[in-house]
Amino acid sequence: QLHILRYPDPRLHTVAKPVAEVDARIRQLVDDMLETMYAADGVGLAATQVDVHERVIVIDTSQERDTPRVLINPEIVKASERMVEGEEGCLSVPQIYDKVPRHAEVTVRATNRDGEVYEFDADGLLAVCVQHEMDHLMGKVFVEYLSLMKRDRIKTKMIKKTREEEAEARR
């Protein structure tokens, strides 16, 4: 499994670069990201979160956890005017959940694990997750949509949690 960066790690604010070629290295990264996402009970994971700054996202919104989606060089080609506000969480900001405004429906174009370009329409949780992950590739974490006060409290909580875990690991 890969190590997931914890907010407020500054590397989470790196802007990812497009993938030049879907080669064996990228396919290995995709496999490692899927293994890491499933192990962490995540619904999605962006390469930025595992400190790889290339435009790769993996998602699985299925109940059975058996429908992996790979989005390489993803683009939102259409987004609904209608917005929704759903509770979001983030593997880089554990145990924090808060509401974030997102487009209700999006049409996404991406490249798959075999290097083929494909398009799909998303609504519901999938639409929210795609937007959440694409923010990660732009160096944006969902807490940045919250008030400065909330963001500061979350930052303090995460630093404390990370310090405690590191102390625990040293014991």
Ligand X SMILES: O=C(O)C[C@@H](Cc1ccccc1)[C@H](O)SCc1ccccc1
Cite the active site residues: 133
Q: Is there binding between residue 8 and ligand X (CB under 6 A)?
A: no
Q: Is there binding between residue 158 and ligand X (CB under 6 A)?
A: no
Q: What is the C-alpha to C-alpha distance for residues 71 and 106, in angstroms, rounded to an integer?
A: 14
Contact (CB, 8 A) for 118 and 30: no
Minimum CB distance to Zn ion smaller for 90 or for 96? 90
Binds ligand X (CB under 6 A): choice among 54, 79, 80, 89: 89
Q: Which of 118, 119, 85, 87 is nearest to 104 (CA)?
A: 85
Q: Which stretch binds Zn ion (CB under 5 A): 75-83, 89-97, 114-122, 162-170?
A: 89-97
Shortest Å, Cβ 21 to ligand X: 25
Q: Which does 88 bind (CB under 5 to 8 A by kind): Zn ion, ligand X, none?
A: ligand X
Q: Is there binding between residue 129 and ligand X (CB under 6 A)?
A: yes
Residues contacting 11, CB < 8 A, separation 6+: 5, 48, 51
Q: What is the C-alpha to C-alpha distance for residues 16 and 135, in angstroms, rounded to an integer?
A: 10
Shortest Å, Cβ 75 to ligand X: 18
Q: Is there binding between residue 90 and Zn ion (CB under 5 A)?
A: yes
Q: Which of 141, 145, 140 is nearest to 99 (CA)?
A: 145
Judged by CB under 5 A, the chain residues 100 through 139 that form the site for Zn ion are none
* In the complex, residue closest to Zn ion by CB: 90
Q: What is the C-alpha to C-alpha distance for residues 13 and 9, in angstroms, rounded to an integer?
A: 8
